[in-house]
A and B are shown apart, each in its own frame.
Chain A
Amino acid sequence: MTETLQGEMAIKTEGDIVLVRRTTREVSSQTGFGITDVTRIVTASSEMARNIFKYAGEGVMRWQRIQRGDRVGVEFQFEDHGPGIADVQLAMQEGYTTGEGLGMGLPGAKRLVDELEVKSVVGKGTTITLRKWLKNLK
């Protein structure tokens, strides 16, 4: 097995958003996700990377293959030392678009993945963790 089980990359420039998409696509495919789930993961990751670039200027993405019991999945963590989110509850509510596609935000990303965790301290930074699990076979 020559698959990479974990890794890390810097998000510093707009160009890194494309790299984030490429990396998350490769890691998700290697883990065994089908094209639709891969697209979901890549889309959510693109948004998280974009948020970092927009609000914090720069940050880091870390990923790893994860296991819980006999379930296998993938985890992507987006960390920055930006302004932080003052009201996480609010951020998780607002932005669900019914009009024009103006910025997806956290609630949208939440729909695309199985788990989304937000840890944020105002003035210090934010860490957002996305997890998706391969469907258990019956």
Chain B
Amino acid sequence: MKKSTKQSSAKAREQADASQLGSSEGMLQMLVEQLKEYAIILLDKDGRVLTWNAAAERLKGWKAQEIIGQHFSRFYPPEDNEKGKTEMELKQALEKGRFEDEGWRMRKDGTRFWANVIITTLRDEQGNLRGFGKITRDLSDRRQAEDKIKRQAQEILEMATVPVVQVWEGIVLVPIIGTLDSQRTQQLMERLLQRVTETSSPVALLDITGVPAVDSQTAQHLIETVSAVRLLGADVIITGIRPPIAQTLVHLGIDLNNVTTRSSLTAGLRMALSMVDKNVVVKA
């Protein structure tokens, strides 16, 4: 890897200093170079990159000669730069001696990674500000693990809010509790269709006893769900149509004539049983 003359003279200077101070500086430099997980760099007083290490190149994508001299706002996403985040971070580091943060950083190619960042102020013996040290650690793995847990938790939550239960061979039941907005309808459709296919159930009972109110939107969502189930080759019985809901549906002019409906879950179950299992005799 060719180094620019600017960097090789800077390095030569550093090495010269190191040999003067003794081998500990040189060893420290070796340590910085060898640490793979920590991007350790130096910034000047104004936040421009002075030094670079191998981990920094690996993590952020920039080669040393490309980035030295540039301002460290290059590593931040545009929306952070608009807010002046880098100025704020340096200011905090100056006031408190150090600044620590977890957030999104940006690589040379524009992709982002979740990072833990520490910025420390570096002063000489007289107390003059020489620059800043910046240590960046890639937390992508940890964040990915966290995201995975969140996703699983969300799935469990979804299962709880849209439970699809197989109540008989060939019959699945979805007791819908609460309002049915667009997002929930999507969840409902996906889970219901999945279960119907998995269990090869020709009948799905949608019980809306727990749905407080049915407006045109909700009715539309229900009709859509029924259409989707029918494409699979199964059918739907909507149960739980209490008097107030029946009134609302008629007053709104919503036509559910295409869909079998019953007032109680029991009545729906009775009908479903007759559809799937001729051997079961249900006493009225």
Contact = CB atoms under 8 A, between A and B. Distances in A.
Interface of A: 5, 36, 65, 67, 69-70, 137-138
A137 B110 CA distance: 22
Contact of A5 (B79, B104, B111, B154): B111
B190 A137 contact: no
16 contacts: A5-B111, A36-B190, A65-B111, A67-B77, A67-B110, A67-B111, A67-B112, A69-B79, A70-B104, A70-B112, A137-B147, A137-B150, A137-B151, A137-B154, A138-B150, A138-B154
Nearest to A5: B111
Interface residues of B, number: 12
Nearest to B186: A36
Secondary structure of the A contact surface, majority rule: loop
Nearest to B193: A36
Contacts of A70: 104, 112
Contacts of B147: 137
Interface string B52-80: 00000000000000000000000001010
A69 B112 CA distance: 10
A137 B154 CA distance: 8
Contacts of B77: 67
Interface string B103-120: 010000111100000000
A137 B157 CA distance: 12
